[in-house]
């Protein structure tokens, strides 16, 4: 039957500068992993629904990232594109354990 969830170690908390993203590819998934100003980690699909812009390179403000291509504003918490644009980006769960960062797939 279906697959079980896996926790995959992708980085350490120390290696991730705040308010910046890191590109993580796991198999065919390309994920943008963000270390937010408040210390949280968030992971979303690295592809803006507009024209496929690489979100990992966007400017991060609070819970949002601004696509570097055409400035779409996207929530890194739920993947939702903010008005007036529409769309949604896939999100992934992130877990932190002993200073390691895991993405759950």
Site string for other proteins, 32-51 (x = CB under 8 A): -x---x-----------x-x
Residues 6+ apart with CB under 8 A from 46: 23, 30, 31, 32, 54, 55, 56
Tell how many helices (H) and how many strands (E) occur in the chain.
0, 9
Q: How far apart are CA 75 and CA 12, in angstroms?
A: 23
Binding mask 47-86 for other proteins (x = CB under 8 A): --x-x-xx--xxxxxx-x-x-xx-x-x---------xx--
Residue numbers at the binding site for other proteins (CB under 8 A): 3-4, 6, 8, 10-11, 15-20, 22-28, 33, 37, 49, 51, 53-54, 57-62, 64, 66, 68-69, 71, 73, 83-84, 87, 105
């Amino acid at each position: 039957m279906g697959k079980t969830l896996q926790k995959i170690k992708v980085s350490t908390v120390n290696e991730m500068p705040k308010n910046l993203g890191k590109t993580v590819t796991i198999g065919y998934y390309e994920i943008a992993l963000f270390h937010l100003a408040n210390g949280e980690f968030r992971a979303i699909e690295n592809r803006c629904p507009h024209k496929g812009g690489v979100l990992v390179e966007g400017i991060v403000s609070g819970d949002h990232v601004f696509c570097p291509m055409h400035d779409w504003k996207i929530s890194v918490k739920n993947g939702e594109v903010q008005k007036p644009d529409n769309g949604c980006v896939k999100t992934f769960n992130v877990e932190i354990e002993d200073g390691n960062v895991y993405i759950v797939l």
